[in-house]
């Protein structure tokens, strides 16, 4: 069994990525409890405050697709340094913002930095560590991110109460600078298998389509899903996606090679990861609010009670890195199946102790499913195009996270009474059904009658390429 004993240069890459993931995940969740104070300080209305969160998520989700491939072409270490510096500078701008428009603009720039860090950092680890260690390295980085994800709301609330909401952003400035210094010491890597040309049409449409889709998910529940504005935005999303596919089919050096979507293990893990990520976002919203609402705990007591689920979620990242590529799909199916039982169990838990025990199991399996998505998909693609694959995966699961926020919007008020509690139960049971359906779909895909195309998967995954179409010698002649 391999031990994580990389070279010094590889350790710099791992440390830089861990710092970046921590900052990005913290900022994605830390502002939720600070929004009322931000509104008071910046004299902003409640309806506009959500843009302080939405702008960050929209920018991150829409720019990841192109960012991953740009890292492949122009150097993953270089763009990781750029991403961390942009994120740190934008955090400084957020910390000194004097108006809501200034804060929202800085959050967009911050999201652009985050969009560079995530897919480029994952690709750098994939190309820096040998095949036997890269999954564990990625798992450790994602485990650090899991700590920020689970503790973000309470860390943001405590910093806001003790100091100011600006402290959340000030914290990022030295951390991002430290991450950039570490990244500059990591080894450089890029895709040398093709020309260093940018598919501009693909970059434009590949950015606009996720942006429009993310905006539709974010605004749909506020506008109403059957309104004219929602319908127009939906048509725009479809047109942009069709245009993007057409551009990629015609491009000599496409931003995203459409062959990637013929890689069965990659597609299965990405789609399952989207379901797992949606369930995780719902879990992170519902459990802390339920502890304060139906279970009548104070904010401090709820934070202490949530430590066990948060710790379980953080530990899941390194554990996901130990899963062999050949067993990743089966483990993902198990996580989704157990996750479905957990989400349903949260509805019917009779006592607080039972509720917390179920939530702890949920933190472990949902954290494992989320981390496994990024760890395992990097194990079944060609390392030289790792940024492309991680960009696609992160885009899909980030938009799914936005959908999860939309689904949990009706439970945002912990004092909402019986109506909010009923909406919580409905949302949890609906997501449990989604997890169960995804679990069954994965099992059918694994154990269906036509398994011949999967028998070579373990060997291919060990070489980092589970997609036969990438090998010219395996192509059939016409």
CB atoms within 10 A of CB 375: 31
The candidate with the shortest Cα–Cα distance to 407, out of 436, 442, 367, 434, is: 434
State the DSSP H helix or E strand holding residue 24, giving kind and residue range, or none if neither.
helix 8-29
Q: Report pLDDT for 474.
A: 37
- Per-residue confidence in pLDDT tens, the chain, 478 aa: 344 556 778 889 999 999 999 998 888 778 766 777 888 888 876 667 778 877 887 788 788 888 888 888 888 999 999 999 999 999 999 999 999 899 999 999 999 999 999 889 888 988 888 877 878 888 888 888 878 877 777 788 788 878 888 998 999 999 999 999 999 998 888 877 767 777 888 888 888 888 888 778 777 767 777 788 888 988 998 999 999 999 888 888 888 888 888 888 888 889 999 999 888 888 887 887 788 778 888 766 777 788 888 888 888 888 888 888 778 889 999 999 999 999 999 999 889 999 999 999 999 999 899 888 888 887 788 787 788 888 888 888 877 776 666 555 544 444 445 555 677 788 788 889 999 999 998 888 888 665 544 433 433 444 334 443 344 433 333 3
Distance CA 184, CA 65 (A): 23
Distance CA 26, CA 121 (A): 17
Distance CA 112, CA 66 (A): 11
Q: Which CATH architecture has domain 9-187?
A: Up-down Bundle (1.20)
| Model confidence pTM above 0.75 | yes
Task: Quote the Cα angle for 326-322-5, to 5°.
Answer: 125
- For 418, residues 6+ apart whose C-beta sits below 8 A from its C-beta are none
Distance CA 20, CA 28 (A): 12
DSSP per-residue letters across 250-292: H-SS-SS-GGGGG-HHHHHHHHHHHHHHHHHHHHHHHHHHHHH
Q: Is 427 helix (H, G, I), strand (E, B) or coil?
A: helix
The candidate with the shortest Cα–Cα distance to 355, out of 367, 343, 366, 365, is: 343
CA-derived radius of gyration, the chain? 21
Distance CA 226, CA 232 (A): 10
Q: Is 108 helix (H, G, I), strand (E, B) or coil?
A: helix
Q: Report pLDDT for 413.
A: 46
Q: Report pLDDT for 455.
A: 39
CB 326 within 8 A of CB 457: yes
Buried b (16+ CB within 10 A) or exposed e, 416-450: beeebbebbbebbbebbebbbebbebbbebbeeee
CB 284 within 8 A of CB 235: no
Q: Which CATH number fits domain 258-467: 3.40.50.2020, 2.10.260.10, 2.30.110.10, 1.20.1250.20?
A: 1.20.1250.20
């Amino acid at each position: 069994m391999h031990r994580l004993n990389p070279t010094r240069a590889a350790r710099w890459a791992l440390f830089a990525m861990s710092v970046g993931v921590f900052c990005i995940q913290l900022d994605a969740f830390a502002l939720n409890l600070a929004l009322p104070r931000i509104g008071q300080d910046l004299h902003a209305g409640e309806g506009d405050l959500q843009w302080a969160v939405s702008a960050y998520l929209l920018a991150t989700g829409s720019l990841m697709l192109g960012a991953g491939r740009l890292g492949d072409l122009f150097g993953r270490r270089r763009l990781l340094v750029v991403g961390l510096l942009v994120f740190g500078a934008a955090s400084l701008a957020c910390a000194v913002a004097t108006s809501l428009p200034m804060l929202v603009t800085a959050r967009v720039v911050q999201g652009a930095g985050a969009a560079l860090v995530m897919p480029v950092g994952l690709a750098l680890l994939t190309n820096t560590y040998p095949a036997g260690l890269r999954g564990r390295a990625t798992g450790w980085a994602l485990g650090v991110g899991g700590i920020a994800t689970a503790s973000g709301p309470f860390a943001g609330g405590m910093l806001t109460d003790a100091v100011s909401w600006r402290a959340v952003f000030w914290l990022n400035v030295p951390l991002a600078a430290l991450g950039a210094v570490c990244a500059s010491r990591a080894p450089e890597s890029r895709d040398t298998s093709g020309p260093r040309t940018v598919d501009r049409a693909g970059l434009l449409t590949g950015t606009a389509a996720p942006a429009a889709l993310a905006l539709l998910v974010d605004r749909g529940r506020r506008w109403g899903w059957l309104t004219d504005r929602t319908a127009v935005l939906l048509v725009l999303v479809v047109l942009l996606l069709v245009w993007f596919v057409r551009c990629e089919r015609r491009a000599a050096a496409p931003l995203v090679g459409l062959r990637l979507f013929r890689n069965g293990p990659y597609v299965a893990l990405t789609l399952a990861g989207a379901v797992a990520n949606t369930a995780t976002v719902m879990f992170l919203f519902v459990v802390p609010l339920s502890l304060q609402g139906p279970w009548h705990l104070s904010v401090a007591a709820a934070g202490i009670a949530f430590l066990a689920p948060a710790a379980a979620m953080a530990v899941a990242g390194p554990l996901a890195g130990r899963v062999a590529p050949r067993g990743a799909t089966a483990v993902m199916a198990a996580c989704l199946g157990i996750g479905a039982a957990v989400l349903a169990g949260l509805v019917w838990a009779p006592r607080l102790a039972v509720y917390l025990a179920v939530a702890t199991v949920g933190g472990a399996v949902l954290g494992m499913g989320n981390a496994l998505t990024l760890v395992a998909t990097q194990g079944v693609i060609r390392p030289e195009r790792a940024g492309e694959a991680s960009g696609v995966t992160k885009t899909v699961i980030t938009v799914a996270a936005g959908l999860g926020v939309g689904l949990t919007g009706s439970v945002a008020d912990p004092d909402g009474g019986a109506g909010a509690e009923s909406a919580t139960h409905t949302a949890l049971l609906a997501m449990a059904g989604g997890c169960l359906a995804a679990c069954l779909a994965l099992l059918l895909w694994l154990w269906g009658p036509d398994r011949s195309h999967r028998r070579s998967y373990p060997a291919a995954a060990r070489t980092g390429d589970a997609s036969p179409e990438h090998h010219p010698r395996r192509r059939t002649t016409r």
